[in-house]
A and B are shown apart, each in its own frame.
Chain A
């Protein structure tokens, strides 16, 4: 018997899933911000009791958390300083020297995590080729250390120019600081993010240093607390790249944990689609404030190395702090249940990114919200069970929703349901556009994908989004409310490392590349083999471009067969797929290599369709649902009364505590053997 525990701490809720021999038991609690371990322990004890399992029987703990992200967003990290190359202390603040919004003269650029007075110059200089232009003056490091003591600094980032090419100065400074300030955390840019482009590298290193003391304290505390209740199982942390890593590595590179929740969701989506025999997935997560869409092929989500934490200005690119970490690439837009609908100066209806949040929340909550939101439109259109919202803890006030919409959009002679349809259509179209743009950006097709919908608002909007993207099938997984934690249970143990190694393909040096890859492999193996004795897979990607271009594309390569010719062929294949046209006569250059060591993907069994139940599904009652010009009477069915093999034709609503699944007319809903809802368009 194996028992595993998955824990996902989010900004509002802490989700837990106890997996006992493949059977899964969910639990949801409010996050305890003062001491996050409190909710974890309470939930764990409840689940253990419910399943009559002893804490000592738990074999593995899998954990993801947004604590690192929150520390950055709320600027509640450690007191941090940056030691940097003299003459370049403003890299963090000068950033790209641009305005991310062309027509707004009043924007503020993202505030760096470290103010200028704590960005301390050190005399040294490495050149572009890794050569030493100016030796390290250790005296300037000692002076800096004195300053750090004066300011009672808890954590230090060290970022020197070109340290990705030569890390000796950073390493030496690390040693001196260790000696001078033994209680201080130290992060070197050549270890956190050994990639060219100083702003992104320093930004990543500083963010890592900023959250490190909090995170390592928290991780240690969690280990201790779990031991106190008798659970001494090894704990693995979920990373934003979709792999699990050891506590020790997580405590060194906590910045890699930032997007663990969404990563868990994407992994669950991959698995759910696979169970239905589909290798191509569109994962759709829609909550209160934003929607996230991610494309997954053969159970491998699209990975990238760029992410922005804390986008402050309408979720706009450039308004956050860049971090270079392995991350599951997804598009996030300001479209959620709480997104506010309004009219712009040209008279177009806009939805989001402003959100009513949960307080006051949508007008229909009756908590004082006066502005119409997506949820208000959904209520007016009959797409939510107003009487039994949030598992009956709350009833929604449809009259308030109508009033808010009419106040904002009302024109004589127009039905409020028509106005609500416009709001719903605009938000669905926004998501469809985001999905298409994302697919184009990554050279992927949308057609033929299975959609997996989770998060409070996704199952309400999934069917319409499905139509807009011309897909056929959407799955609403069982227990989707704790989807991320479920995803942790199937994530591989993995680790990705990167090295910038600039090289023209025409002067490809196979020996040098092989040597570097070997080093990378050793580094990654060391981390992963600590966690598992499993067989491991190694995958290698190269960041390449035509010589002179500014953006690299990710090219997967076969490590066993490295040659100039093979690399060129792989590059051209990827380039053609993205941009449909090759550039003649141009040399190709290699910027960086990434290497990922991972346990193999789990085998996923196809789920057989259960025989269809003959008896018609019992509906508790009916309510009016509006689609375009039609008002239809829809069955309202509680999900916990559905059994495998049940089938429903739209219009219908399936309700459960944290969401509602809308089954429009011409759609059929089937319950599979796992209890997942499969929604299909009738042909």
Chain B
């Protein structure tokens, strides 16, 4: 048995690695340009051993990068073996299948050298607002239409910028300044991680991370195995139908709990789509395993060891294992639905103590200017990509959260900032009455947003919304949440996905979906009903229809 004091040294070094990647992520967030990175935390950061195994990862806004980034570094090392890399080299890719699932995500990998020997690698990923092509949205039929695809290549070679690559990137995107800035910010955060790692290794007298790393991975893995072993072994099945692009998509899931690991199989799910809602496997893995990790072993840090205990498969040519050249830009619309399915499977193993379905997919419209033929009044160019959320499903013995991101952890952007950066007016952004699914515990509320161009000009919206035709379902007698809606105040209704031109002077209305309720509404505490009526979250009509509420006024 190791002594408590040797054990202590190991633990302190591990804590140090975790602190280093958190700081790496902070630097990325503070220096990023892209709105979704800096305001919303759509990024990830981690440190890897020389075999490409992830040792520590920052807890950031997006679970979608978790497994995806963990695998990416291995892919980099296949193309550029560590032995051939030099100090000052920085590698880059945005290949959806080699990194995190769509062209907007750029992953940068930096090897770290101690006395000329490679000892580790840092990786970071951030979402760059525009990568050319049709722009961020689900309308493409092939990945080639979705923008520039950069294979794994050098961004810096021995400290010198790869000018050709940078010029190529800048020539292919709509906002070259922002893209350049974000590539620098990725490089900067890896550099900051490297510096701190070397200091730490010096302090702890380490000339390699291999012992430390294998202990971290081994302990994390066995802790996960321990947690899994508490669950009853069996296969649990669940399915969910969501909107898709032009036709509904069926997600079929079989979750098998073995003695030491969990296998998630999406066989039977719909085939690939002709549009950009297909999901590359690494992204499927990320959200599926996140669903498990919310409920099983959620205190165990993410690393190659803990991730290994959850295996995810989907047949080839299934929409959850789409291959090139499928279009994948809006892969989050389906990916973010996966935790709901996985959680429902786990429900059986956990005595039903799991949340109900929620809005789940973030509502992140891209608003942009459209060119008008009137040369006398050229329209102001703009693109913004704000994030809005619906309600989460009712939870275990408590209501769902209103307008809150789940499973994504991103933050919304302030209305004032949206209005300063684009000529749009957000006339309304408020909780939507009667939107949370009723039940003993109620689903979280969605919101209504009303938007108009400030100068009466037309503008465009690119939509990647779901739960417009298929609402979040309730659980154990709870009611479904309200459906999402997209329409003009003038009356025209839109579907949830695709690009639309909004005529000048019209007001566009978005209603995000509500979360599903849990348990029979008759069991709900009348005081909570009365509180929600007073606060206007439920109308009196609905309260009396569903909860038998009678006004005391």
Contacts and interface: CB of A to CB of B under 8 A. Distances in A.
Contacts of A349: 8, 11
A426 B11 CA distance: 9
Given A103-B293, A346-B223, A425-B8, A98 B411 contact: yes
B1 A411 contact: yes
A87 B507 CA distance: 14
Contacts of B59: 102-103
Given A199-B414, A550-B32, A98 B409 contact: yes
B395 interface: yes
Interface stretch (B258-266, B295-303, B481-489): B295-303
Contacts of A547: 177
B16, B388, B405, B415 — which one has the most chain A CB atoms within 10 A of its CB? B415
Contact of B1 (A102, A197, A199, A413): A413
B38 A550 contact: yes
Contacts of B414: 196-199
Contacts, number: 211
B401 interface: yes
Contacts of B61: 98, 102
B300 A346 contact: yes
B405 A549 contact: no
Nearest to B412: A97
A93 B293 contact: no
B4 A419 contact: yes
Interface string A77-112: 000000000011111011011110011111011000
Interface string A428-456: 01100100110011000000000000000
A629 B6 CA distance: 11
Given A98-B412, A418-B5, A549 B31 contact: yes
Given A103-B298, A346-B300, A548-B177, A418 B23 contact: no
A422 B416 contact: no
Interface stretch (B96-104, B146-154, B180-188, B312-320): B180-188
Contacts of A561: none
A96, A425, A436, A550 — which one has the most chain B CB atoms within 10 A of its CB? A550
Given A97-B403, A345-B227, A579 B5 contact: no
B223 A422 contact: no
Interface residues of A, number: 72
A579 B32 CA distance: 11
Provide the main secondary structure of the chain A interface: loop
Contacts of A125: 425, 427
A586 B181 contact: yes
B141 interface: no
A127 B428 contact: no
Interface string B1-33: 101110110011011100100110011011111
A614 interface: no
Interface residues on B, range: 35 or more
Nearest to A131: B454
Given A98-B409, A162-B419, A109 B404 contact: yes
A115 interface: yes
Given A97-B404, A98-B409, A116 B536 contact: yes
Contact of A87 (B22, B35, B180, B428): B428
Given A127-B419, A429-B15, A549-B38, A421 B31 contact: no
Contact of B535 (A106, A115, A581): A115
B5 A87 contact: no
Q: 7 smallest A-B Cβ distances: which pairs?
A: A550-B38, A87-B428, A116-B535, A97-B412, A103-B298, A128-B419, A96-B411
11 contacts: A94-B402, A97-B389, A99-B401, A99-B404, A127-B454, A199-B414, A346-B299, A347-B219, A418-B5, A578-B30, A579-B188
Interface of A: 87-91, 93-94, 96-99, 102-106, 108-109, 115-117, 125, 127-128, 133, 161-162, 196-199, 344-349, 409, 411, 413-414, 418-419, 421-422, 425-426, 429-430, 433, 436-437, 440-441, 502, 546-551, 578-581, 583-587, 628-629
Given A91-B415, A196-B414, A196-B416, 16 more contacts: A87-B429, A97-B412, A103-B298, A108-B398, A125-B425, A197-B416, A345-B226, A346-B219, A421-B4, A426-B12, A440-B23, A502-B420, A548-B33, A549-B33, A550-B38, A579-B27
Interface of B: 1, 3-5, 7-8, 11-12, 14-16, 19, 22-23, 26-27, 29-33, 35, 37-39, 41, 59-61, 63, 175, 177-178, 180-181, 184-185, 187-188, 191-192, 196, 219-220, 223, 226-227, 293-295, 297-301, 355, 387-389, 395-396, 398, 401-406, 409-412, 414-417, 419-420, 425, 427-431, 447, 450, 454, 534-537
